[in-house]
Structure formats: structure tokens, C-alpha cells
């Protein structure tokens, strides 16, 4: 059961990662200056009011006690109550999560459907017009700040043309601008990897051999080249998920998209410890699981990575 | 584990994918090439399907939306026809979409801490009194009040024939219930300190309430005007329980009722058809959470919003020039200053503190850094506060500043650190940089440090023996125009941080005496004199670099009229309408 072992290793890995993240985050949050009670009660609050708030959220207890309580609660899937809003963290995060997932998924879909073929075509037709466009997209995608791109798209499509809403949610049209904005920085590395990988494989002996065998260009490309390109591309796509979550914070702010990214940032500025911890816990769990799935797709795409060794 | 068709299988089914292809291959006699291609294609097809479905969905809804918008136009037209024939403007089904910068933390009136959210709650819940545009306190749900000569008993007579949105009558019992709730330690009330002076609340008769205070508290009536003290229906509140924070249905007497709160996205209020003070024009108020100021402006220009608060200051002049937008910029209650730690090295000398005031060209900062969105402070108190007296401003006079520094024994200046938050106030960091430059010109060596807001708050609230603060930029904006709230916490010597907010560690026995007296005296003229005297003393001791009053800006579509903007960074659209 080698594969089974692999699975177990990975699941234990996820568990260890997430626990480390929680503990690290817990200590990190409390080591940065800022007092949630004071931020909640305001400048003019009296020390008694501040003390009341600290007591209510257990902030007056010693740190290790707080950490242990937190872990015990997390095991019972109780992520606590938000200090800022006084509502359960789980329901706050879960009510926003679908928005972030929709946005990330739509961006990823755009990035992959355009980026993957574009990179491959750019490699095959190196130095052509398509290659030029691909390279330009890579440069722009890496260089353009997301918030600027977002604002420009708003100005053009919402203020000038008035065809798409500038921000908020409601109809699915609301997702178009944020998804496009978020997709560009993600698309750039996908194009780059796809182009680079294709180029590299095109220069390899087995491709030359395939061509020498008399196979048509199309056959060589689809059978020998593209399949080999997929591995690095899938890796990059997996890594981009982290990028997406980071980009989502800015995109969600610019487009008034009510997602988890914005929630976390607000929570950090309010030093809303339970909210930050809860949201990051859920995101970390999600990220680790997605990477796990990415690993599994390798197995599907490339028999060589199958643990236990595929033989043919 | 078994070896089938040349593939190692582990029973978990993953290899079935490959097995499936092998079977397809063997049954169809296709080549390995085709098999590879089909796998690649499969992945691509799935991705393409997802993308295309998203796009198609978006496209169709776009079509639908356009259809809808034509329909709304027709509906608007027809409704305006009916309205002109029946002359009931308020029967129109129109919603007003308002762009705000932050989402609510709680909608419970008692839990309010921010101006923006209090502003929303104020449409649902009204207080006994309201602070008007000029800073005067006007009765709202109250009719009139008397205060006893010792300043410890307030008798408030209430307006009659008002009903809460839930149908129950507004009366003395409801008022007592509201204040008992504010003082109940089990209810989360961050602003409770304002009300702990209350000994008890008595209902004299159905429409008369008596507040008995523990000690005389002259600003009491202005505290009754706060949103936290909004009168709530005992029935609605008891039925809601904890849900008052998220779904405050029918709790108040206000012009709008709660409808829904989609977290992070919007808060929707609907018109209270039985509102006692004239039915509002708009059937719905939609508060859209749009955190980015640039986006708020874009949404206003795109017609996605009708009114926005605080557009980016850099855009204000451009917005003013457009004829489809109206901009309101009013002097707010927010007093901006550089706090000086009066117990730190050179700053112990009043001549040095005065020198700092002379060294800075406040007019130039307001004009060039703030784009005119401020008004230079000419006193310790803003003009709309009781006890305001014009004392300055300190003129821009670098020569005099240098002379004072020389007199104090610092002809070559000294090294100082100026700290500032960034993004909290209009151009805070830029203002701090300008100030640093002015100070450098009179010979000081200035280092600027910026912090994020939570760190900043902790830094400036450190007690005297731990503080590292020398100069810091801050804004002070009490919800009440009463001078007590501008002066006591910042300048009384018992209020050194962390007890209060005197982080200048400023102590002047005479100022202490005046501030102690000011909170007790009932007579308005006497109070006014007390605060005038206190202002003069503080101004001369210069524990601050007095800067400017920050403006509060809102912008709305040009055909919207009768929007009321209050100096305490709030607005009212209950009487607003669209001009035809």
C-alpha cells in the first residue's frame, strides 16, 4: 500500500502545517503592538471599560493558557467569537468564503484558459507576433499593480463605457472586472512557465526523434510536448493559489467584493485576534488541501510520479 | 495490489483513471499517442468549460441587467407620472444608494463606536436630543427639559403620540428601559463611561422622565444626543435578544426601518411609513460598503451610487467642477494637532513649545497639502463649541521661532522624533512631512516615523514612565460639541495616559481647577467664561502645535437636494429628494 502510505504522509503533513500555522499566528498576533479592547472602546474609554472587554474575551489570562484554550476549542471546531462584531468567527468566515472562492476560481479559469495555450503557442512560434503578445502580457502582469489595473478597468468599463458595474455584488456581471483584474498577475507566471517548458521540451532529443520518425507537427506537439509541459504548469497553478489569496485582498478592497481577504485585513487592523486566527486557519486548511489535490493531479498526469513506480 | 493491464493498482482507485484509458485503448485499438492527447484534452476541456460557463453566465446576466435597467426607467417614469397626479412624492419606490468606507461591527445602538455606523443607526433610532449643524442641542424625541440648581436632576418632558416601528408607544417607560440597558453590565456598551454618572432614571408620568445623577455633570444633555442613547422599544429589544446586533428590526422611532445586512456588502433600510416627522421621500436606503475611496468616486460617476462619503481628497476639486456631481465640504468636529510631550527634554520649556507653533505655516499646509480641506485652528476649541474664543492662530514667523529656541538655550536646535499614523486622517503622513520640513528650517533635526493604526494607538497611549513619544500627530473628534469633551481628557492632569488622553503630560493647576468647575456649573454664561479662561491658559502653555480643523466631505449626484451635513461627520437624507 505505498500509495496509501503516501496519502497518510500527506494528510499528517497538512495537519502539522496547520497546527504550526495556528500556534505561530497566535504568538505573532500577540507580539505586535495594539490592544483589541482599546481599539474597540476608543480613545475616550475608561480603564474599567477596557478591563471589562479584556475579561469578556479572555485576553486578561496568561498567554499559554489562552493558547491551550484556543487549541482545545479548535479541536471542537469552535473558532471563537469575533471581538469586533461579537458574532461567531466560523459563520462570519463561511459567509464570505464563497465570494472569495468564486472570485479566485473565476480568475484562475481565465488565467489558465488563456495562459496555458498562449504560452505554448508562443514557444512554438517563437519570436512571432503571438510570442510578442505573450511576452508583453507576462511583463505587464508582473509589473502592473493590481489596484491600479482595477481602477483603470473601472474607469474604462464602468465610468466611461458604463457596461459593467464598478463594484459590489448582486449580479454575476459584478464578477467580471475583479476576476479579470485578479487573473492578470496569475496569468503571467502561467504563460511564462508554459512557454519556457514548451521551449525546453521542443529542444529535447525525443522530440527530434519524433520528428525524425516522420510524425506531423501537430502530433509531436500534442503527444510529446504538451503533456510534458503540464507538470510544471500544474505546479505553478498550485503555487498561484497563494498568490490569488494575496491578490484577493487588494482586489476585494478595490471592487468592494465582500470576501475573506477584506475580512482578514479589517480584523488585523482591529486586532480582532479570534477573527484573524479563525480566518487564517480556514484559509490555511484550504490551501494545504488544494496543494494536496495538486499533488494528486501529478499522479494522474504523469505516471512517473506515481509512488511505487508505474511500469510499462 | 494487483497487476492488471500493466498498471500497478493499489485498490484506492486512482489508477482506475489510467486503467480506464487502457481499456478504452485496447477496445478501440487506438494508439498510445491518442491516449496521451485525450488526457491533455480532457484537462483543457474541463478548464475551458468552467471558464466559458462563467463568461456565458456573466454575458446573459449583463443582458438581463440591461433589460432590467430599461424597465426601471419605465417604472420610474410611470411612478413619477402617478406621483405628479396624486402629489404624494413619498409614494415613489426609489432607493438611495450610499457608498460608505467600512462595514458595520454591530447595529445595536448601545454598541456604537464609529461615526459611519452610528450614522446608519441614527436613521432607525432617535435620541431625546440632537446636536444641530451650529452645535446647539435641539430636542428630538424630547420636548423640553429642566435642570435642578445643583445640577444633579434633569427632568425631561417627552413628545407625545409617537410610536415605535413595532407599533408600541414611545413613552417614559421606554426611556427608562433604554438607559437601564445602557448601564447593564451584561450589555456590550463601549461608550458606557458617558452614562455611568447616572444614579437612576425615574418615570414621573407617562411623558416625563427624571434623571438623577451621582454628581453634577453639565454636558449631560449633549450626551443624551449620542446614538448610543437612541431610545429603543422595550418590546422589540426583548424579543430580539442578541440578534439586535445583526438584525435590529423595528427597534426605534426613526424615519427608516431595518431590512437586511449582507455582511461586507450592504445594509438596507426601508421607509417607516408612519414616521412622526414627515414621511421620507426615498423608499429605501442602501448603504454599500466600498472600502476604496477611488472606487466610491468611480461608482458615483458611473451611476452605481447616489451619494458617497469621503471621496479621495485629491479628487475633490475635480469633482467640484463636474455638473453631474455636488460636493459638500464642511468643517467637522475633528481638531488636528501635533501633541508635544511636555515632560520630554527641551519641550519642558514653554518657549520651545511656542517656537514650534511659530515655525509652522498652517495656512500653507491647509492650502497645499490638504487641498483646502481644512480650516486653521485659531483657538483650543472649535468655533461651534461653547466657550470658544478667538486666540490665534500663532502666525508663521520662523525668525521668532529661532529667537525663542535661542533664548531657551537651543541655538543649534536638537534632535526630535515625530510620529504619525498613515491613512487615518486626510493626508496625515504628508502633513507630518510638511511639518518636519518647517521644523528643520528653524534648526531642528527631525525624524519621522509612521505606524499602522493599532500600533500607533498603543504608542501614544503609553504611560509617562514608558512613553517614547516626543511629537505626534493626532485628531480629536468628540461626538458632542461640549467643551468638556474637548478639554478634560486631554488637558487635565489626572488624565495622564493611560487613565485619560493627556499624553502631553501637561499639568497646570489653574487649568485643572477650571476644568473641574466647568463640568459642575449649570449656568451657561458662567460655563462659557470658565472655558474661555481655560482655553487662554492652554493656548499660552502650548502643549500642542495647534494645526487645523479637518473637513468632512460628501459628494452626491447633482439632482439630489436637501441633504443635511452635520459637523460631527454625519449626514441626514431623511428629508432629501430628487429634483425633477
- Enclosing domain of residue A146: 97-265
Q: What is the mean pLDDT of residues A126-135?
A: 88
- Dist. CA B179–CA A20, nearest whole Å: 47
- Dist. CA B293–CA B298, nearest whole Å: 9
- Enclosing domain of residue B127: 102-246
- Dist. CA A139–CA A192, nearest whole Å: 10
Helix (H, G, I), strand (E, B) or coil at B494: helix
Instruction: Pick from B49, B58, B106 the residue to mutate for testing the A interface (most A CBs within 10 Å).
Output: B58
Interchain proximity A306–B485, CB inside 8 Å: no
- What letter would DSSP give residue B160? S
Interchain proximity A45–B501, CB inside 8 Å: no
Any domain includes B93? no
pLDDT of residue B459: 86
Q: Which residues of chain A make contact with B246, given a CB cutoff of 8 A?
A: 87
Backbone angles phi, psi at A82, to 5 degrees: -65, 135
Interchain proximity A258–B264, CB inside 8 Å: yes
Interchain proximity A310–B39, CB inside 8 Å: no
Residues B435 and B510 occupy one common structural domain = yes
Q: Across the interface, which of A35, A109, A258 has its CB nearest the CB of B54?
A: A109
pLDDT of residue B300: 92
Q: Which residue of A has its CA nearest to B2?
A: A1
Residues B166 and B215 occupy one common structural domain = yes
The burial of A27, by beta-carbon neighbours within 10 Å (0-12 exposed, 13-18 middle, 19 or more buried), is given as exposed
Any domain includes A215? yes
Q: Which residue of B has its CA nearest to A52?
A: B185
Any domain includes A60? no
- Dist. CA B330–CA B328, nearest whole Å: 6
Q: What is the mean pLDDT of residues B456-479?
A: 87
Beta strand pairing call for B445-451 and B471-476: unpaired
ipTM for the complex shown: 0.75
Q: What is the mean pLDDT of residues B521-534?
A: 92
Whether the CB of B524 is below 8 Å from some CB of chain A: the reply is no
Residues B111 and B40 occupy one common structural domain = no
CATH number, position B151? 3.90.76.10
* pLDDT at position B13 over 50: no
pLDDT of residue B452: 83
* pLDDT at position B356 over 80: yes
* pLDDT at position B72 over 80: no
Q: Across the interface, which of A40, A110, A308 has its CB nearest the CB of B190?
A: A40
Whole-Å CA distances, A270 to A148, A250, B310, B495, B503:
26, 18, 21, 25, 22
- Dist. CA B491–CA B339, nearest whole Å: 11
Q: What is the mean pLDDT of residues A90-94?
A: 88
* pLDDT at position B538 over 90: yes
- Dist. CA B105–CA B406, nearest whole Å: 52
The total domain count for chain A is 1
pLDDT band at B176 (very low <50, low <70, confident <90, very high): very high
pLDDT cut 90: percent of chain B above it: 56
CATH number, position A232? 1.10.3720.10
Residues B352 and B471 occupy one common structural domain = yes
The DSSP H or E segment spanning B84 is helix B32-86
Whether the CB of B260 is below 8 Å from some CB of chain A: the reply is no
Least confident of A291-305, B268-282, B382-396, B551-565: A291-305
Tens of pLDDT, residue by residue over B204-239, are 999 999 999 999 999 999 999 999 999 999 999 999
Interchain proximity A166–B192, CB inside 8 Å: no
pLDDT band at A212 (very low <50, low <70, confident <90, very high): confident
* pLDDT at position B466 over 70: yes
Residues B165 and B50 occupy one common structural domain = no
Interchain proximity B12–A3, CB inside 8 Å: yes
Q: Across the interface, which of A106, A165, A263 has its CB nearest the CB of B54?
A: A106
pLDDT band at A297 (very low <50, low <70, confident <90, very high): confident
pLDDT band at B19 (very low <50, low <70, confident <90, very high): low
- The answer to whether B373 touches B316, Cβ cutoff 8 Å, is yes
Residues B33 and B140 occupy one common structural domain = no
Q: Across the interface, which of A151, A173, A309 has its CB nearest the CB of B65?
A: A173
Any domain includes A113? yes
Task: Return the CA Rg of chain B.
Answer: 31
* pLDDT at position A241 over 70: yes
Any domain includes B86? no
- What average pLDDT is seen over chain B? 84
- What letter would DSSP give residue B159? P
Torsion sign (Cα): B426, B428, B433, B437: positive
Q: What is the mean pLDDT of residues B388-417?
A: 91
The burial of B107, by beta-carbon neighbours within 10 Å (0-12 exposed, 13-18 middle, 19 or more buried), is given as buried
- What average pLDDT is seen over chain A? 83
Q: Across the interface, which of B12, B54, B304 has its CB nearest the CB of A166?
A: B304
A297 or B237, which is more confident: B237
Q: Across the interface, which of B61, B262, B303 has its CB nearest the CB of A172?
A: B61
Any domain includes B201? yes
pLDDT of residue B417: 93
* pLDDT at position B435 over 70: yes
Any domain includes B272? no
Whether the CB of B223 is below 8 Å from some CB of chain A: the reply is no
* pLDDT at position B536 over 90: yes
Q: How many alpha carbons fall within 13 Å on the CB side of residue B478?
A: 25
Q: Across the interface, which of A43, A96, A223 has its CB nearest the CB of B264?
A: A96
Residues B392 and B524 occupy one common structural domain = yes
Residues B202 and B67 occupy one common structural domain = no
Whether the CB of B193 is below 8 Å from some CB of chain A: the reply is yes
Q: How many alpha carbons fall within 13 Å on the CB side of residue A217?
A: 3
- Dist. CA A63–CA A207, nearest whole Å: 61
pLDDT of residue B67: 42
Residues B403 and B343 occupy one common structural domain = yes
Q: Which residues of chain A make contact with B452, given a CB cutoff of 8 A?
A: 34, 269
pLDDT of residue B37: 54
Using a cut of 0.90, tell me whether the model's pTM lies above it. no
The total domain count for chain B is 3
Any domain includes B215? yes
Any domain includes B559? no
Helix (H, G, I), strand (E, B) or coil at B411: coil
Residues B395 and B526 occupy one common structural domain = yes
- The answer to whether B145 touches B156, Cβ cutoff 8 Å, is yes
- B residues 319-358 lying closer than 8 A (beta carbon) to A: none
pLDDT of residue B83: 35
Q: Which residues of chain B make contact with A150, given a CB cutoff of 8 A?
A: 295
Distance from the B349 Cα atom to the nearest Cα atom in chain A, whole angstroms:
28
Distance, CA of B5 to chain centre: 70
Any domain includes A278? no
pLDDT of residue B146: 92
Least confident of A258-262, B121-125, B490-494: A258-262
Tens of pLDDT, residue by residue over A43-72, are 667 777 788 788 878 888 888 888 888 888
Q: What is the mean pLDDT of residues B457-476?
A: 87
Whether the CB of B202 is below 8 Å from some CB of chain A: the reply is no
Amino acid at each position: 500500500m505505498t500509495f496509501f502510505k503516501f496519502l497518510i504522509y500527506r494528510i499528517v503533513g497538512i495537519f502539522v502545517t496547520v497546527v504550526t500555522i495556528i500556534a505561530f499566528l497566535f504568538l505573532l498576533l500577540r507580539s505586535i503592538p495594539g490592544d483589541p479592547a482599546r481599539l474597540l472602546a476608543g480613545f475616550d474609554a475608561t480603564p474599567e471599560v477596557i478591563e471589562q472587554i479584556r475579561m469578556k474575551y479572555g485576553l486578561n489570562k496568561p498567554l499559554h493558557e489562552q493558547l491551550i484554550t484556543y487549541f482545545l476549542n479548535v479541536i471542537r471546531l469552535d473558532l471563537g467569537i469575533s471581538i469586533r462584531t461579537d458574532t461567531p468567527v466560523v459563520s462570519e468566515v463561511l459567509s464570505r468564503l464563497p465570494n472569495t472562492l468564486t472570485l479566485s476560481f473565476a480568475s484562475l479559469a481565465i488565467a489558465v484558459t488563456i495562459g496555458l495555450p498562449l504560452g505554448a503557442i508562443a514557444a512554438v512560434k517563437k519570436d512571432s507576433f503571438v510570442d510578442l503578445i505573450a511576452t508583453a502580457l507576462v511583463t505587464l502582469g508582473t509589473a502592473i499593480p493590481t489596484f491600479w489595473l482595477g481602477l483603470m478597468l473601472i474607469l474604462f468599463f464602468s465610468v466611461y463605457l458604463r457596461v459593467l458595474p464598478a463594484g459590489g455584488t448582486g449580479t454575476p456581471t459584478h464578477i467580471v472586472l475583479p476576476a479579470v483584474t485578479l487573473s492578470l498577475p496569475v496569468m503571467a507566471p502561467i504563460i511564462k512557465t508554459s512557454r519556457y517548458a514548451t521551449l525546453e521540451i521542443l529542444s529535447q532529443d525525443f522530440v527530434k526523434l519524433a520528428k525524425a520518425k516522420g510524425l506531423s507537427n501537430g502530433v509531436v506537439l500534442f503527444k510529446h510536448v504538451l503533456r510534458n509541459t503540464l507538470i510544471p504548469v500544474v505546479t505553478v497553478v498550485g503555487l498561484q493559489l497563494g498568490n490569488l489569496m494575496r491578490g484577493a485582498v487588494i482586489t476585494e478592497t478595490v471592487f468592494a467584493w465582500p470576501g475573506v481577504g477584506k475580512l482578514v485585513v479589517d480584523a488585523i487592523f482591529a486586532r480582532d485576534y479570534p477573527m484573524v486566527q479563525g480566518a487564517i486557519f480556514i484559509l490555511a486548511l484550504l490551501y494545504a488541501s488544494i496543494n494536496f489535490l495538486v499533488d494528486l493531479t501529478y499522479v494522474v498526469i504523469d505516471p512517473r510520479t506515481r509512488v511505487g513506480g508505474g511500469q510499462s | 495490489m494487483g497487476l492488471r493491464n500493466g498498471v500497478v493498482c493499489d485498490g484506492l482507485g486512482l489508477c482506475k483513471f489510467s486503467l480506464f484509458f487502457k481499456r478504452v485503448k485496447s477496445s478501440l485499438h487506438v494508439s498510445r499517442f491518442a491516449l496521451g492527447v485525450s488526457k491533455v484534452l480532457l484537462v483543457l476541456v474541463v478548464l475551458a468549460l468552467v471558464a466559458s460557463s462563467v463568461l456565458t453566465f456573466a454575458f446573459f446576466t449583463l443582458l438581463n441587467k440591461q433589460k432590467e435597467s430599461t424597465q426601471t426607467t419605465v417604472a420610474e417614469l410611470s411612478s413619477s407620472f402617478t406621483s405628479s397626479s396624486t402629489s404624494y412624492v413619498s409614494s415613489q419606490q426609489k432607493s438611495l444608494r450610499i457608498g460608505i468606507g467600512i462595514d458595520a461591527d454591530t447595529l445595536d445602538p448601545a454598541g456604537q463606536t464609529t461615526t459611519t455606523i452610528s450614522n446608519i443607526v441614527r436613521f432607525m433610532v432617535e435620541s431625546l436630543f440632537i446636536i444641530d449643524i451650529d452645535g446647539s442641542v435641539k430636542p428630538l424625541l424630547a420636548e423640553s427639559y429642566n435642570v435642578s440648581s445643583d445640577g444633579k436632576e434633569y427632568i425631561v418632558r417627552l413628545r407625545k403620540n409617537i410610536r415605535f416601528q413595532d407599533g408600541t408607544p414611545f413613552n417614559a417607560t421606554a426611556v427608562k428601559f433604554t438607559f437601564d440597558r445602557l448601564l447593564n453590565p451584561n450589555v456590550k456598551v463601549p461608550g458606557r463611561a458617558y452614562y455611568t454618572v447616572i444614579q437612576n432614571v425615574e418615570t414621573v408620568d407617562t411623558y416625563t422622565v427624571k434623571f438623577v445623577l451621582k454628581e453634577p455633570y453639565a454636558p449631560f444633555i449633549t450626551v443624551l444626543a449620542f446614538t448610543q442613547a437612541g431610545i429603543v422599544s422595550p418590546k422589540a429589544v426583548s424579543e430580539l435578544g442578541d440578534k439586535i446586533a445583526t438584525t435590529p428590526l423595528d427597534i426605534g422611532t426613526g424615519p427608516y426601518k431595518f431590512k437586511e445586512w449582507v455582511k461586507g456588502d450592504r445594509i438596507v433600510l426601508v421607509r417607516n411609513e408612519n414616521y412622526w416627522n414627515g414621511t421620507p421621500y426615498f423608499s429605501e436606503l442602501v448603504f454599500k460598503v466600498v472600502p476604496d475611496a477611488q472606487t466610491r468616486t468611480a461608482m458615483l460617476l458611473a451611476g452605481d451610487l447616489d451619494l458617497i462619503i469621503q471621496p479621495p481628497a485629491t479628487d475633490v476639486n475635480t469633482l467640484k467642477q463636474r455638473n453631474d456631481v455636488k460636493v459638500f465640504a464642511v468643517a467637522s468636529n475633528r481638531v488636528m494637532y501635533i501633541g508635544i510631550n511636555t515632560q520630554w527634554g527641551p519641550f519642558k520649556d514653554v518657549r520651545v513649545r511656542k517656537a514650534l507653533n511659530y515655525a509652522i505655516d498652517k495656512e500653507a499646509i491647509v492650502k497645499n497639502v490638504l487641498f483646502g480641506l481644512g480650516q486653521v485652528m485659531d483657538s483650543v476649541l472649535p468655533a461651534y463649541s461653547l466657550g470658544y474664543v478667538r486666540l490665534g492662530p500663532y502666525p508663521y514667523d520662523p525668525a521668532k521661532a529661532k529667537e525663542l529656541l535661542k533664548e531657551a538655550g537651543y541655538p543649534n536646535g536638537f534632535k526630535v522624533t515625530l510620529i504619525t499614523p498613515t491613512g487615518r486622517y486626510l493626508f496625515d503622513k504628508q502633513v507630518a512631512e510638511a511639518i518636519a520640513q518647517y521644523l528643520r528650517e528653524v534648526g531642528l533635526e527631525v525624524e519621522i516615523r509612521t505606524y499602522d493604526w493599532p500600533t500607533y494607538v498603543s504608542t501614544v497611549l503609553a504611560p509617562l514612565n514608558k512613553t517614547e513619544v516626543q511629537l505626534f500627530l493626532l485628531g480629536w473628534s468628540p461626538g458632542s460639541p461640549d467643551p468638556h469633551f474637548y478639554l478634560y481628557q486631554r488637558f487635565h492632569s489626572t488624565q495622564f495616559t493611560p487613565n485619560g488622553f493627556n499624553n502631553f503630560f501637561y499639568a497646570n493647576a489653574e487649568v485643572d481647577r477650571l476644568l473641574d468647575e466647568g463640568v459642575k456649573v449649570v449656568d451657561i454664561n458662567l460655563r462659557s467664561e470658565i472655558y474661555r479662561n481655560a482655553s487662554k491658559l492652554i493656548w499660552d502653555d502650548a502643549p500642542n502645535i495647534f494645526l487645523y480643523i479637518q473637513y468632512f466631505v460628501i459628494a452626491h449626484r447633482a439632482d439630489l437636494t436637501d441633504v443635511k451635513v452635520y459637523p460631527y461627520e454625519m449626514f441626514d437624507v431623511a428629508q432629501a429628494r430628487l429634483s425633477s
